[in-house]
Structures are given as C-alpha cells and as structure tokens.
Amino acid sequence: MVIKRLRKLAEALAATLMFLMFATFILQVAIRYSARLEWIAKAVPLLEPSNFGWTLEFCLALWVWLVFLGNSFVVREQDHVTFDILYLAVRPRLRQGFVIVSGLAICTALLLSIAPTWDRFHILRLKKTATLSELFGNWIRMRDVYSIYILFLIVVPLRYLWSVWQAIRRGVEPPPPIHHGEGRLDQ
C-alpha cells in the first residue's frame, strides 16, 4: 500500500516535470515568434527576448530530473526495451542465472560509481548555473541540477537486488506466449 502510494507520488512528480517542461517550451516558442515583432517588446518590456535565456537551461534541468527520477521510480522492468532472443530461447534455470548475473553486474557497477560521482559533486557545488540564477536566484548550483543522479545510483541497484532476490527465491516467470500477427500493420 505504501509502495503504491509512493509510486503514484513519483508518477505525479514526473507528470509535473513534464508539464513544466512543456509549458517552458511553449513559452520559448511564443517569445521566439514575438521577438520578430519589435513593438511587442517595446509595449511589454517583460516580453523582451533577452529575459528568457533561462528557459533552455530550465528545460535541460527538468529533463535530467525527469529521466533519472522516472528510471528510478516510475519505469517498470517490463517497460524497458529488451533484446531477449537468447533469454527466451534457454531453459528457465539458465534464464534465472541470466537474471542473477546481470542484476548483480548492474548493481555492482552502479554502486561502484557512487564514490567517483560524489567526488565530482564536490566540484559541482561551486559551479553556478549559467542562467537559472535569473529565475531562481544565486543559490542554485550545478550540484543541485544533477543531484537526482545520486538517488538514481542508489535506487536502481536496490531494484536490481530485489529482482535478484526474487529470482533466487522464486525462479523466473515463464516467457509470455507468442501470438503471431498480433499488432501487425498489414492485418
């Protein structure tokens, strides 16, 4: 129940980030086209195109957060694109080994990358964003923009450890049946 609510919260946050990114993109388009009409900037100084340099960096920061937050909490295992021809062709016991070995490899790689990433964050705490200070003030640093990556490096290995544990405990689920012709465009 708690996990379901946290998942819904993460989905709502991801949807909010997507909305903000889309709204900022629409603002960029509106300002870009209104910039051709000089009388608009003179009549409404707030619409001066040079006041909107922050929008690109804001969209990029939202994108970084959306990708790493989404992959940490929203995207499910079955939502990933997989190349599973070999996986589906082998017996369940070997499939179980694939899940365990690949899960442990991914988990190990991500956990080992936390320390070097954290060292890099020590440098990023000093670096200011190029334009977001115009919008939010001088307190935002590049470390804040990329901080979601540390959470990603912790949550994703935990998810893979859970998959490994489930594979050890219960084995792996049989592959779904193949329905030829399903979803074909020429039907």
Scanning the structure block, which residue is given the tokens 């709204």? 23
8, part of any domain: yes
- For 158-169, letters b (16+ CB in 10 Å) and e give ebbeebbeebee
The span from the CA of 128 to the CA of 138, in Å, is 8
Residue appearing with tokens 């919260």? 9
Residue 159 in domain: yes
CA-closest candidate to residue 142, choices 123, 128, 160, 152 = 128
In a domain, 176, yes or no: no
Q: Say if CB 17 and CB 66 are below 8 A apart.
A: yes
CA distance 92 to 133: 54
Whether residue 19 is predicted with pLDDT greater than 90 in this model: the reply is: yes
Distance CA 65, CA 4 (A): 21
Residue 133 lies in a domain: yes
Residue type, 95: R
Tell me, what DSSP letter sits at residue 147?
T
Place of tokens 């992959």: 71
* 183 assigned to some structural domain: no
Query: Looking at residue 135, what is its pLDDT?
Result: 74
Close Cβ partners of 68 (under 8 Å, ≥ 6 residues apart): 148, 149, 151, 152
Question: Which of 155 and 47 is assigned the larger pLDDT?
Answer: 155
> Is residue 113 a part of any domain in this protein?
yes
What DSSP assignment string belongs to 40-109?
A: HHHH-GGG-GGGGTHHHHHHHHHHHHHHHHIIIII--GGGS----HHHHHS-HHHHHHHHHHHHHHHHHH
Report the distance separating Cα 134 and Cα 48, nearest Å: 14
Amino acid at the residue 150: I
CA distance 40 to 90: 66
Domain count, the chain: 1
Residue 53 is predicted with a pLDDT of: 83
Supply the pLDDT for residue 180. Answer: 55
CA distance 79 to 45: 46
Q: Domain limits at 43?
A: 2-170
Look at residue 7 and tell me if it is in a domain: yes
In-domain check, residue 180: no
Query: Tell me: the pLDDT tens digits for 68-122?
Result: 999 999 988 878 787 788 888 889 899 999 999 999 999 999 999 999 999 888 8
